Amino acid sequence: MLKLRVVFIFLLGLFALLQNPVVASINASPLGLDLIVAPGEREVGSFLVKNTGDDAQEITVALNDYMRTPTGENQFLPAGTLPQSLEPFVSFSPATFGLEAGETQEVQFEIAIPDNVTGAHWVMFLVRENAPVATNELGIEGQSGGFGFNASVSFGIRVRQLDPTTVLADGRISQVAVLLPDEADGLINIEFMFENTGTTFLQPEGVVEIRDTAGQTVASVPVEVFRILPGARRILSVELQDTLPPGKYVALAVIDFDGDFLVAGQSVFTVEN
């Protein structure tokens, strides 16, 4: 049975790549919120931004879309880009504000889902500290001769809206591949693709088992918990530390996504002398 968790907090710190390292002097919390909002309903939420430094800071807040590639890398997109973007249904305030040292500001937002909009949506609040960096007259960082402003530190706050009228936890393993090493003492890699074919956010986990021709499990490797958005695909890879004697085997990937059943996929391979 799928468990809807109203609040799920996790950290995503986005540090801009500057020529000179910059120490964050702001903090934001919580850094993730799950809210259950049905079509035609509204829900409010908030997060806090605190100036933990010794100097006053100017803060800007904006919305961004985000997703993950099949290999697990984060991608950040302009707000409203994705079909599942929550941006059209979110209003928030304030968008810019100043913070003295030790001061905290609450940013409030409201989610209003129209009657005809169903399914899960998500968006990211990007909180930027506009810190000064040294520039010359041409605006080149890291050289003396002037002073300018540049967004130096960002925090991403993910907000996910769950539609209780359409929640369906579903998934499948679409392919399994066994990559044999070129050398006898190399490691065997098993890769497979998991697809979130449901309508809600999943946190699957599982195991890859190696079975011999008699059906006995001769080795197993756990698949750690990973997060996957509705409609997304994820390529997962595990390494088999055990040495297998020559013979024919089956690599069986089994995933538990907290639904009503497990999903599995397999691939037959042979270990030569």
- Are 54 and 134 in the same domain? yes
- Are 66 and 132 in the same domain? yes
Q: Count the neighbouring beta carbons within 10 Å of the beta carbon of residue 218.
A: 14
CA distances from 219 to 19, 177, 185, 239 (A): 47, 17, 17, 11
Output b/e per residue, 170-195; b: 16+ Cβ within 10 A. Answer: bbebeebebeeeeeeeeebebbbbbb
Has this prediction a pTM greater than 0.85? no
pLDDT at position 2, please? 34
Q: Is 1 within a domain?
A: no
Query: Consecutive sets of 10 residues in the chain, 273 residues long: mean pLDDT of each?
Result: 34 35 75 96 97 92 95 93 97 96 97 97 93 44 40 80 95 94 79 96 96 95 96 96 92 94 96 83
Assign residue 221 the CATH number of its domain.
Answer: 2.60.40.10
- Are 133 and 177 in the same domain? no
pLDDT at position 164, please? 96
pLDDT at position 11, please? 33
Question: Cα(67)–Cα(82) distance, rounded to whole angstroms?
Answer: 9
pLDDT at position 265, please? 97
pLDDT at position 184, please? 56
- Do residues 150 and 128 touch, judged by C-beta distance below 8 A? no
Structural domain harbouring 113? 13-162
Q: Count the neighbouring beta carbons within 10 Å of the beta carbon of residue 37.
A: 21
Structure tokens at 59: 């803060």
Q: Is 90 within a domain?
A: yes
Question: Cα(109)–Cα(92) distance, rounded to whole angstroms?
Answer: 4
pLDDT at position 181, please? 86
- Are 81 and 209 in the same domain? no
Q: Is 6 within a domain?
A: no
Beta-bridge partner residues of 185: none
